[in-house]
Chain A
Amino acid sequence: MKRLLKLTKALSDGVDRVAFLLMMFYMIAVTILVILGVVLRQIGLGLAWSEEVARWFLIGLAFVGASVAFKRQEHIAVLLFTMKAPAPLRRLFLIAANIVVLIFLGFSVRYGWSMAVTASRQMGAVVEIPMIYSKMNIPLGAFLMLIHCLYFLVGLLADKSHTSKYMISSSGIVRDQEVL
């Protein structure tokens, strides 16, 4: 079990590093793109494709970013009951919650993938690039979250003394809402 934990941790850490860079790329690219779009339009050089590409990047930002947020335990949850529960019960809650998330992610990877693959010959409305590149972000993000989720689940089962390290949402009630 300890070996499995080590393995899943390494995997989860590894993919997160790549996902983080990808997320930052999407964020920076979309910001520059839209600013450029406004500026160029004011001087009469509007870019026809900037809006569509920006929307595609948004999908990536959302799903790849969601995996980074997952790794950092920042997804928003109501933790009122989990926190009040006695430790053994809490661990049970967390495991159950983890399984629920795993099921959802499994379905998302499976049907996100089939949706993306169908779009391999579907071109963007303005940009002549197959939509698969935009749509693939959904199964990709879901798959990354699946890896993190598995790591958390193994952690909950193997490492009983540090449950808070393996919560999908930790102390998030405060941090997650920082901007609202």
Chain B
Amino acid sequence: MDASMLVVALLFFVTLILGVPIAFILGFVPIVFLYCFSSVPLGIIGQTLYNGLDSYVLLALPFFILAGNLMNHSGITADLVKFAQLLVGGFRGGLAQVNIVVSVFFAGLTGAAVADTAVVGSLLIPAMKEEGYSAEYAAAVTTASSIIGPIIPPSNIMVIYGAITGSSIGTLFMAGFIPGLLVALCLMIMAYYYAVKENHPRRMERIPLTECVRIIRNSLAALVVPLIIIGGILGGFFTATEAGAVACLYALLMGVCFYKTLTPRIILECLENAAIVSATILLIISTSKVLSLVLAIQHVPGNIAQFMLSIIDNKYVFLIVINVFLLFVGMVMEIGASVILLAPILLPVAVQYGIHPLHFAIIMLVNLNIGLTTPPLGVCLFVVSPIAKVPFERIVPKVLPFVCMQIVALLLLTFIPELVFFVPRLMGML
């Protein structure tokens, strides 16, 4: 480490504190470095910005965001809630269990946690309050279960990770199935504990058979989405990028013809939102390439790897250290930016320790997702607070036990890699 890198690090933190958007920090800092400390011509900036985005894989991002938007607006979630009622509503604390199970189903439609919080929350929190759950508890369950969304495929954050590190998005998607279900299971255990302790109600009335058939039929339309995506990629019908486009087409057809909820105006709004949101992430990816260039010139990733290897020689100690570090990062930084910034640096280090890249990817993504539900910057908490009509600070103590369960799931994934490998291996991808 020489003085120039110290300046770079300092500049990074100062601009971060000033509130400069991440995309611009990642571009500004390396430009200062190139200008002051390096003989590399500045002309390289233009081409680097371009190269960062010149990727067919990255196109999957706007598509999966759009597909998620369209699904959200199609009104399919109401049917999924009924389906979950059918499955787990009869347990003690039925609606809390339903909340978690719906998140599992919903995860197959969108790759975003916040969408899950907003859509599932607005449907279930009022219902939960009516049945006598406290608003704080209802909000906590909704928030905690929404991280299942980006773990079970499709997942926007996996698309970003795959595009950044060159990992196969199809394999990442498959590896996410069991971890997503594991998180759900852990949360359901916690919800059951509370249900018994606080004597929560359950669904008492029976659902007639004809109604069951109707619910299952309607829900199937949604439940097949992840299968179409994975099946299409596996069967070689389309690439991950095209899978995103196909998901859009499917959502569009379903929303327009089957549910009849998508009007041209809503579709345009979905397109607009998808374009803007993906543009903000794409800009970060583009400018992060300028920073990577400078880091590579200074051999920073290599030096970090060497440093880590010199102080930690045990793979498991490394995994614990990295998990603690990522939990901290997830708490204070936006997840997309964290992945774009850290994945290219940390992945080679992990591989040096003999950790499988796929295993590391899932650990990193599940870990950073937990940050969506923790203070001080857990976005899902901010989103759920107005829906449940309770202030942020009052939800936090209720959500912490669930965060602990998320961490239990994370530790299981960290130390039992087979949970990650099972599905991809079954499909012959490993």
Contact = CB atoms under 8 A, between A and B. Distances in A.
Nearest to A65: B279
17 contacts: A31-B62, A35-B246, A58-B58, A62-B286, A65-B279, A76-B23, A79-B19, A80-B376, A82-B18, A101-B24, A104-B31, A107-B42, A111-B46, A168-B19, A169-B21, A174-B383, A180-B372
Given A38-B245, A69-B277, 20 more contacts: A23-B276, A27-B272, A28-B271, A38-B237, A38-B242, A38-B246, A55-B56, A58-B53, A58-B282, A61-B62, A62-B282, A63-B279, A75-B21, A75-B22, A80-B376, A108-B45, A114-B43, A139-B46, A179-B112, A179-B115
A74 B58 contact: no
**Nearest 8 CB-CB pairings of A with B:** A65-B279, A115-B46, A62-B282, A75-B21, A82-B19, A34-B245, A27-B275, A111-B46
B113 interface: yes
Interface string B279-310: 11111101100000000000000000000000
Interface string A45-84: 0000001001100110111111011001011111111100
B284 A180 contact: no
Contacts of B150: 180
A180 B64 CA distance: 11
A80 B114 CA distance: 20
A66 B279 CA distance: 5
B2 to A, nearest CB: 23
B172 interface: no
Contacts of B241: 34
Given A100-B20, A180-B336, A65 B59 contact: no
Interface stretch (A6-14, A90-98, A154-162): A90-98
B296 to A, nearest CB: 19
Contact of A115 (B31, B47, B284): B47
Given A34-B242, A179-B156, A78 B22 contact: yes
Contact of B18 (A42, A100, A113, A172): A100
Give chain B's interface residue range (CB within 8 Å of chain A).
35 or more
Contacts of A15: none
A180 B113 contact: yes
Nearest to B52: A62
Contacts of B281: 180
A104 B58 CA distance: 24
A63 B242 CA distance: 22
Interface size class of A (residues with CB under 8 A): 35 or more
A102 to B, nearest CB: 9
Interface of A: 23-24, 26-28, 30-31, 34-35, 37-38, 42, 51, 54-55, 58-59, 61-66, 68-69, 72, 74-82, 93-94, 96-97, 100-101, 103-105, 107-108, 111-116, 135, 138-139, 167-169, 172-174, 176-180
B26 to A, nearest CB: 9
B55 A76 contact: no
B379 A107 contact: no
A97 B245 contact: no
Contacts of A24: 268, 271-272, 275
A42 B249 CA distance: 15
A138 B50 CA distance: 7
Contact of A179 (B19, B248, B277, B282): B277
